[in-house]
Structure 1
Amino acid sequence: MEFRILGPIEARGSAGQARLAGRKQVALLAALLLRDNQVVPVERLFEALWGDAPPNAAAAALQTYVFRLRQCLEAVEPGAGRRLTFSSGYRLAVEPMELDLAAFRTHAGRGRAAAAAGESEVAAKEFHTALNLWRGTALPGLPGRYFEAHAARLTEEHLAALEERIDADLAMGRQLEVIPELRSLVAAHRLRGQLHGRLMVALYRAGRQAEAIGAFHDASAVFVEELGIDPDPALVELHQRILANDPDLAAPGEAGRPATRNDLPGDIADFTGREAEVQRLVAALPDGDAAGSAVVIEAIDGMAGVGKTTLAVHTAHHLVDRYPDAQLFIDLHGHSTGQRATDPATALDVLLRALGVPGERIPTGLDQRAALWRAELAGRRVLVVLDNAEGAAQVRPLLPGNPACLALITSRRRLADLDAARILSLDVLPLPDAEALFARIAGRPSAAEPEAVREVVELCGRLPLAIRIAAARLRTRPAWTAAHLARRLREGQRRLTELATGDRSVAAAFALSYQHLSGEHQRMFRLLGLHPGPDFDVYAAASLAGASLAEADRLVEELVDIHLLQQSIRGRYRFHDLLRHHAGDTARAVESEARQQEALRRLVDCYLHTLHAGDRLLYPQRPPVEFGDRVDGCLTRPLGDQTEALAWYDAEHPCLFAVRQLAVRLGWHERVWQLAWALDNFHRWRGHLDDQLAGWRAGLAAALLVGGQDIQALAHRRLGDTCARVGEHAEGVHHLRRALALAEQADDTQNRAHGHYTLAQALERQGDDRQALDHATRALALYEGLGNVMWEAVALNAVGWYHARLDDAERARDFCERALVLFRQGAQRAGEAGTLDSLGYIAHHAGRLDEAVGHYRAAVALYRDLGDTFVEANTLVGLGRTHAGLGQREEAGEAWRRAFDIYRDQHRAEDAERVRRLLDSLGP
């Protein structure tokens, strides 16, 4: 488990983040975590939850909140509910370092111990680790004196650790890095004299004595104006020492010695963002003479145009004082137009000459040059930027051997095989930084057209190179607006063409990466560009390429290593949006129309046949439909059980939608209706009714073109059922009657039975329970004649349900109990859940409320286990009504809140509003 209170309050387990329902439950968890592993008296919990005015039934309410908290913990980590125990109060068991507050205090304590021992670097690392656990203010959103007092104490702990971390940084000579941070802290905590003092020391050590004196006068003015007192005597004494140039205030080491050589390109004037990345790059650097035992190697990798060189050069400029003997820069041309990568021997010749080594002293052999390079760096503090590296083999001979040196390497390839290197994989810019960069380059404030600027940077994929080009085009075209630029970029096939100006082009940068690939990597890259969805797994990649699973896995992982693909979560891959355009354009330019069609056929069949296998797991009693053999080269993903099938459906849902649209666009009519059929149950279970409706509209159109009478009847029936579910009743009944007529024309008993059963459901939604019962009874007779026990059970439950709706409780119960026996004999849990729901309804309306609760709870548990959230929500509404009938307001509210959440997530607005009114009826 992982518990967090240093920011938004969270509990996480192996199944993800716990869903804490309401402020009271959050407050309960926070109160327990503030005294983790200790018994918190009930009275103290009353104070945390209700302040000075607990309700009369506070004890019972607390028990309910504890019960719900156990359920929340159990839902994300099996067995976690047992951590919360009672013994004259409640105690939450937390393992060491599971709680961010405990981890913060542990690391801060280690930092203080290291500082006391004079180990400033260790202290700084520990304090950095401790402070990184803070994600905002502690205990946010919890009002009342109880939590306000705790939050104030925790804030003080945070500030103290922050000051001690700054002391450790200053002890290592990092005054340049901490000055901007100290200015922000002083502005936020104007009356904290310790921060003013640290800012004065940092400025003085950076050689900015006048600014240090000015900082003292600023502090004095604050204390006089706001408190009417003089500054602290310690601050006055520090001011006097600065005036006297006290040598004891000087920075450790020899910072400030002039460099002998600086080959760095100029820093970027409009450099924007990347504060966290810069901080990470400098966080573990040695401070002058107190160097570590190994040279520091920072390898920055990322896709073309993400700003690797810009970041390296910007960071290097901030480190000039730390590496005063030389700052060297060399472009290794790992990805350069019309130029081969620089071989290591040539690079060493350039670097040695930059250090002043005469040409006659430079040996010819690579090993000898590398040895001389390391010897020249011995005893020096030198920063080396090795830009645009092709790979680890190219840079290994160029690495310093002196721990007082730093190597900054940039590459489009992830240099995981470079020993001892710290890897920083650079991502695109966060949205605020992307907007700020665009505004700075365009020379126009983004506030003038905020929505248009946001759209432009999103269309640029927040890629710095693309943003720079787009902003430069806007700056040089006064007649354009950001909205006009966005419209031009929005035209998908023109986007890469638009992102070019002068000698800069996003497409050209991507083309360089593509040209450096092997033939098999190039083919995989461009075929993946044909995938219509937002991401994909290795089975889809293998099918597109007609490759084996092992071969596809190797290729896509290697494309990840060179940042032509991204792996956001394990096993799923995606393109950066602009790279997707480039890959697709390349595929259309290189692959023939026939080869593109073959690749897409394999992809569609990969999804279709995996869907078919998954559907058999979700609904095994459903009459199967034969899809025929899949095309050669198509791989289907094996699905072990229902849980795995649902997880795959959920992960692939956006891709399945896109694949269906692809099949429609290409006119593959047979695949269109088959995809609608294979997705039908998943869409219903998860409440994706709009997708289901669109799928069956396309599916019916396709079935009318290529399907026989049985397929047309099926498509009419499924479209009719979906229309009825979304409230299109007239259209729904029309399609259902058409399906029934086709089944009767063909004398197809099974489809006649299905038609009557589905029509009964549609008529019920129109409020015609009498006709619904008639059709359900006909369906039952037909199923009995077919000898299909499971469908007979389905119809029995339906007949029982409609009898219940017509107030014939005894007959209703008889039919439903017969259905329940058959479902349990056949281990059909979905049917069992539906029948238990019916029995709950029957018991409720017969006044047997305790019995109804039992049935409803059993049904909810089954639906939740099955993953059928669509029907689970309906059952939860019935459960809530029964609890309300028993006067159990907390339990009713809990059931209705869960139903409301599902309805809201599934965009079932009318249902959500109905439940909201039920919740309002409970009162405050």
Structure 2
Amino acid sequence: MWTDDPAGGTAQGQERPEFRVLGPFEVLVHGRPLDLGGPRIRTLLALLIANAGRVISVDTMASALWDVDATPGTPRTVRTYMSRLRRSLAPGAALGGGDLIETRAAGYALRLEPALLDAREFERLVTAGRTALAADPVTAADRLSRALALWRGDAYEDFSGTAALLAETRRLQALRLGALQDRIDADLATGAGEALIGELTALSDRHPGHERLWGQLMTALYRAGRQADALDTFARARVVLVERFGLDPTPRLTGLHHRILDNDPRLFPPSPSRPVTGRPAGTIRNDLPGDIADFTGREPELSRLLSARDGVVHTAPTAVVIEAIDGMAGIGKTTLAIHAAHRLAGHYRDAQLFIDLHGHTSGQAPITPAAALDTLLRALGVAADRIPLEPDARAALWRAELAGRSVVVVLDNAADAAQVRPLLPGSPGTLLLITSRRRLVGLEAAHILSLDVLPEATAVALFSGIVADDRPAAEAAAVRDVVALCGHLPLAIRIAAARLRTRPAWTVAHLADRLRQAGRPLAELSAGDRSVAAAFALSYEHLDEAGQRMFRLLGLNPGPDIDVPAAAALAAVAPAEAERLLESLVDDHLLQQPATGRFRFHDLVRQHAQATALADEPAPARTAALRRLVGFHLHTGHRGSRLLDQQHPPIDVGEPPPGCVPAPLPDDTAAMTWFDGNHQCVLAARQAAEDAGWDTWVWQLAWTLDNFHYRRGHLQANITSWLAGLAAAERLGDVAVQARAHRRLGLVYGPFGMPAEALPHLNRSLALAGEIGDTLGQAGVHFVLALHWTNEKDDERALEHATSAQELYGVLDDGKWEARAFALIGACLSRLGRHEEARSHAESGLALCRESNDVYGQADALDSLAAIARETGHHGEALEQSRRALSLWRHLDNTYRQAGTLAAMGDAHQAQGHPDQALEAWHQALDLYRAGNLHPAADEIEKRAANAEG
């Protein structure tokens, strides 16, 4: 929800679905985006949102989706899309109360509360701001700023080519520009001037036909003491209006011109404490550094800071409003604080103070609180002989001097809460803005505002505005590459843009190539005395010894993130100590915490950590740390894989490296949770082992991942892992592992739609297992060969291999795998028309699996019995068996096999003449196959659904 105003309607916060069209299109439920499906479904929903409450005909939808008139098949296709859209919106509909999409005789309509759509909330706030503009400009500025903060880009920007949305897009863009001008009027009415010049210069350049902007810019320039510039602006405006638009300036603009010529005191708003006698007296202290003309983005954060003035005005008499802005080096904390202070200057007419506390300044110790108080008191005009020597007395005098005054104070670059605490005001009327690289959680009275990197659209706008020529517009894709390589970090973007601006011969693509070169990004991101690496180095230098070591070692982590147990293994410390160090790095903004218990670097900070590790961590220590981390993933993953399927032939992974303690996994649910959270980390550990030449660990990690990959349908990842494992086994000369790797590759290639690649691996595995007398391995290969020939529709060969597998498992007295083989034989016999034999084998397999509590085998046998029932025309029985199998697959959290069972259920529903239920089952299967990137299986299901719909 976007409003905390009781007048804004519903106020249930994140318990309701949110629809966002003022920028990248998204629907949020519980603050998380819904997966809406493909581009046409997204376009359909956008069309419904733009016409919320109104009926849209099928013909209109068809025209928007395909740019053609309706055809005989169009209504059916639109209904199909609408069905999928309803499924996608199901969580939101449940929270929002009923079905959001209503079917009408003439088409469809979206039932949507205005407060759930950012565009409608924007319009409500704009109306409230305009209503308050004349009587209460402070409130007006607040409402309008909140409205504008809802924009994250252009309206419906994902659908720029959709003609049906063009009128609504233009309407909203026009409202945005009008609201922006209203907000500037509100700021001008409260005394702002100089702080608006950069913004108004850019706006008048972008919208030269809007005379109101020219007038606002002239007013701001005059208030800043730049009368000549204000008059020159009028001359430029007159030329632009006449030559480009054929219009003479209106009497309002020419009247403003004359008032500026006459130094009209009414161009300054009245101050509550001073009469209007011309320009404000020169006694007002303003220590703020100059505002940045190209300030870009940060609308939500800026809106929050600007609304902080309400706290000063409306809070209890003893309240103090403190905004503590924190974030990593180069994130733009100081820039935001100064920009906000300039925007707020008109509300704090007694003084605008600024002091750099040097919490992170190269070659300079942080300023002591006593020294800072001395500087601040002198800035308020306190004579030197009145300033006490004792720090507590200075703090008391500071609070006394602020009492009754209207002052905004920026305390920049604070080291910690202890440095700032003596500088806090004691009475209302003062707004304190603090910036720090460390999260100042010790300031109980402060409102914490943590800055993140810029969204892509804002990062692109910042880069383009600094370059200030035609190259960014001509190379839009390269610009996106550059800001991504800069990690969307404002400092990095500014430096990169400044380098391009001073090198007219460079293209944006050339700059991107330079940034891409290995080891070069941080070296490239320096200009003059500004350097991203130097900014990070200062943060690193302020860590204690243990924190510096953890930071360096984290630079060795090959994975995208890390959890506490893995970090403990990496650093060979207890988990509690690892968590303390990780949380401290988060507080220092050298590490991010995207989810509870998981930690990751910003890309550029990762590069700095890697460079620091190479420079400061001895090579033996680096190797030992990486072995502990890889060993952690191997041993934890091995335990997890054994829990997922205890029938999987085990391997011996030895003992963990010294200092490495694997994570405890009590059951298969915990194992799946661990694999889901650490999948990419284990893959990265396998790659790191391969790069380091640790071949035994390479194939063992492939084995470790195998069960999880199969359950989740991560077949491409499994192929990659086992190819690496096979190569490692060949380097080791380990024939048994080679046979295992060939067998697993043969198993995975089939469902991935590559049977030609599968068969050579299976034949080689069978040969190698025979060479070393591995009966269990031979049985396994026959089992997989049966699956292969089943996929190839050669049921005779499939039966032959299934029977061989069953016989070999019987020789080995391996009852569980023999039971699974019985079920496989049953499926083969059924397809050959030998239904009674098939049922007997499948039921025998099910009984044996139940005796041994083999849940996986039971589900497999139930799938076989369902297939037999379908083959014999008993579709009700087939559905019942499939439902039982599906329940077990879900219990095992095996999404790959769930998809297969759902596909079979769709077939049974279709045979029973229930197309809606068939489509529902197929679509569920389709979603699971797509989630696992199993495109051949997904394509097959999509064909079935399309045929049923057609």
By the TM > 0.5 criterion, same fold? yes
Give, in whole Å, the separation in 2 of the partners of 1:502 and 1:108. Answer: 44
- Paired residues of 1:753 and 1:783 also in contact (CA < 8 A): yes
Q: Give the aligned partner of residue 289 of structure 2.
A: 265
Q: 1:71 deviation in Å? A: 7.9
Query: Aligned letter for 1:569?
Result: A
Q: Give the aligned partner of residue 408 of structure 1.
A: 433
Q: Give the aligned partner of residue 669 of structure 1.
A: 695
Q: Give the aligned partner of residue 923 of structure 2.
A: 897
Q: 1:463 deviation in Å? A: 1.6
- Paired residues of 1:796 and 1:818 also in contact (CA < 8 A): yes
Judging changes above 3 Å, is the alpha-carbon distance between structure 1 residues 611 and 274 closer, same or farther for their aligned structure 2 residues? same
Judging changes above 3 Å, is the alpha-carbon distance between structure 1 residues 188 and 342 closer, same or farther for their aligned structure 2 residues? closer
Give, in whole Å, the separation in 2 of the partners of 1:161 and 1:264. Answer: 28
2:806 matched to 1:780?
yes
Q: Give the aligned partner of residue 538 of structure 2.
A: 512
Q: Give the aligned partner of residue 431 of structure 1.
A: 456
Judging changes above 3 Å, is the alpha-carbon distance between structure 1 residues 28 and 162 closer, same or farther for their aligned structure 2 residues? closer
Q: 1:10 deviation in Å? A: 4.5
- Paired residues of 2:26 and 2:34 also in contact (CA < 8 A): no
Give, in whole Å, the separation in 1 of the partners of 2:945 and 2:204. Answer: 48
* 1:23-43 per-position Cα deviation (integer Å, ceiling 9, x unaligned): 699989999x999xxxxxxx9
Q: Mean alpha-carbon deviation: is it higher for 721-730 or for 754-763?
A: 721-730
Q: 1:544 deviation in Å? A: 0.9
- Paired residues of 1:535 and 1:572 also in contact (CA < 8 A): yes
Q: 1:746 deviation in Å? A: 3.6
Q: 1:335 deviation in Å? A: 0.9
Judging changes above 3 Å, is the alpha-carbon distance between structure 1 residues 246 and 409 closer, same or farther for their aligned structure 2 residues? closer
Give, in whole Å, the separation in 1 of the partners of 2:618 and 2:204. Answer: 65
Give, in whole Å, the separation in 1 of the partners of 2:744 and 2:173. Answer: 59
Q: Give the aligned partner of residue 503 of structure 1.
A: 529
Q: 1:754 deviation in Å? A: 1.3
- Paired residues of 2:929 and 2:935 also in contact (CA < 8 A): yes
Matches within 5 A, 1:173-322: 253=272, 257-258=280-281, 260=283, 261-286=285-310, 293=317, 294-322=319-347
- Paired residues of 2:594 and 2:600 also in contact (CA < 8 A): yes
- Paired residues of 1:108 and 1:127 also in contact (CA < 8 A): yes
* 1:744-769 per-position Cα deviation (integer Å, ceiling 9, x unaligned): 34433322221211222223334432
**Aligned residues between the structures:** 905
Give, in whole Å, the separation in 1 of the partners of 2:797 and 2:196. Answer: 78
**Structure 1 residue corresponding to 2:414, chosen from 386, 389, 402:** 389
Judging changes above 3 Å, is the alpha-carbon distance between structure 1 residues 882 and 45 closer, same or farther for their aligned structure 2 residues? farther
* 1:854-895 per-position Cα deviation (integer Å, ceiling 9, x unaligned): 333443343344332223333333222222222322222222
Q: Give the aligned partner of residue 29 of structure 2.
A: 12
Q: Give the aligned partner of residue 562 of structure 2.
A: 536
Q: 1:771 deviation in Å? A: 1.6
Q: Mean alpha-carbon deviation: is it higher for 902-911 or for 605-614?
A: 902-911
Give, in whole Å, the separation in 2 of the partners of 1:287 and 1:167. Answer: 22
Judging changes above 3 Å, is the alpha-carbon distance between structure 1 residues 205 and 133 closer, same or farther for their aligned structure 2 residues? closer
Judging changes above 3 Å, is the alpha-carbon distance between structure 1 residues 645 and 324 closer, same or farther for their aligned structure 2 residues? same
Give, in whole Å, the separation in 2 of the partners of 1:13 and 1:820. Answer: 42
Q: Give the aligned partner of residue 390 of structure 2.
A: 365
Matches within 5 A, 1:87-236: none
Structure 2 unmatched runs, 5+: 1-14, 63-75, 105-110, 160-164, 251-263
Q: 1:257 deviation in Å? A: 3.6
* 1:701-744 per-position Cα deviation (integer Å, ceiling 9, x unaligned): 22234364433332222123223343443443333233333333
Q: 1:182 deviation in Å? A: 12
- Paired residues of 1:819 and 1:835 also in contact (CA < 8 A): yes
Judging changes above 3 Å, is the alpha-carbon distance between structure 1 residues 724 and 2 closer, same or farther for their aligned structure 2 residues? same
Q: Give the aligned partner of residue 38 of structure 1.
A: none
TM-score w.r.t. structure 1 length? 0.81
Give, in whole Å, the separation in 1 of the partners of 2:813 and 2:534. Answer: 67
Judging changes above 3 Å, is the alpha-carbon distance between structure 1 residues 187 and 817 closer, same or farther for their aligned structure 2 residues? farther
- Paired residues of 1:713 and 1:738 also in contact (CA < 8 A): yes
Give, in whole Å, the separation in 2 of the partners of 1:530 and 1:320. Answer: 47
- Paired residues of 1:328 and 1:384 also in contact (CA < 8 A): yes
Query: Aligned letter for 1:428?
Result: V
Judging changes above 3 Å, is the alpha-carbon distance between structure 1 residues 2 and 159 closer, same or farther for their aligned structure 2 residues? farther
Q: Give the aligned partner of residue 724 of structure 1.
A: 750
- Paired residues of 2:312 and 2:320 also in contact (CA < 8 A): no
Judging changes above 3 Å, is the alpha-carbon distance between structure 1 residues 647 and 197 closer, same or farther for their aligned structure 2 residues? same
Judging changes above 3 Å, is the alpha-carbon distance between structure 1 residues 443 and 344 closer, same or farther for their aligned structure 2 residues? same
Give, in whole Å, the separation in 2 of the partners of 1:752 and 1:532. Answer: 37
Q: Give the aligned partner of residue 107 of structure 2.
A: none
Q: Give the aligned partner of residue 602 of structure 1.
A: 628
Query: Aligned letter for 1:285?
Result: R
Q: Give the aligned partner of residue 464 of structure 1.
A: 490
Q: Give the aligned partner of residue 342 of structure 1.
A: 367
Q: Give the aligned partner of residue 913 of structure 1.
A: 939
Judging changes above 3 Å, is the alpha-carbon distance between structure 1 residues 160 and 455 closer, same or farther for their aligned structure 2 residues? closer
SS of residue paired to 1:285? helix
2:846 matched to 1:829?
no
Judging changes above 3 Å, is the alpha-carbon distance between structure 1 residues 97 and 923 closer, same or farther for their aligned structure 2 residues? closer
Q: Give the aligned partner of residue 860 of structure 1.
A: 886
- Paired residues of 1:384 and 1:407 also in contact (CA < 8 A): yes
Give, in whole Å, the separation in 2 of the partners of 1:501 and 1:166. Answer: 34
Structure 1 unmatched runs, 5+: 36-42, 51-59, 142-146, 190-194, 226-230, 232-244
Judging changes above 3 Å, is the alpha-carbon distance between structure 1 residues 611 and 338 closer, same or farther for their aligned structure 2 residues? same
* 1:338-362 per-position Cα deviation (integer Å, ceiling 9, x unaligned): 1111111111112222222222221
2:736 matched to 1:736?
no
Give, in whole Å, the separation in 2 of the partners of 1:861 and 1:25. Answer: 35
- Paired residues of 1:327 and 1:384 also in contact (CA < 8 A): yes
Q: Give the aligned partner of residue 108 of structure 2.
A: none
Give, in whole Å, the separation in 2 of the partners of 1:633 and 1:667. Answer: 21
Query: Aligned letter for 1:3?
Result: P
* 1:492-544 per-position Cα deviation (integer Å, ceiling 9, x unaligned): 21222222232222211111111111000000000000001111111121111
- Paired residues of 1:488 and 1:495 also in contact (CA < 8 A): yes
Give, in whole Å, the separation in 1 of the partners of 2:311 and 2:282. Answer: 16
Judging changes above 3 Å, is the alpha-carbon distance between structure 1 residues 436 and 3 closer, same or farther for their aligned structure 2 residues? closer
- Paired residues of 1:434 and 1:464 also in contact (CA < 8 A): yes
TM-score w.r.t. structure 2 length? 0.79
Judging changes above 3 Å, is the alpha-carbon distance between structure 1 residues 865 and 64 closer, same or farther for their aligned structure 2 residues? farther
**Structure 1 residue corresponding to 2:476, chosen from 450, 457, 463:** 450
SS of residue paired to 1:410? strand
Q: 1:115 deviation in Å? A: 8.2
- Paired residues of 1:257 and 1:321 also in contact (CA < 8 A): no
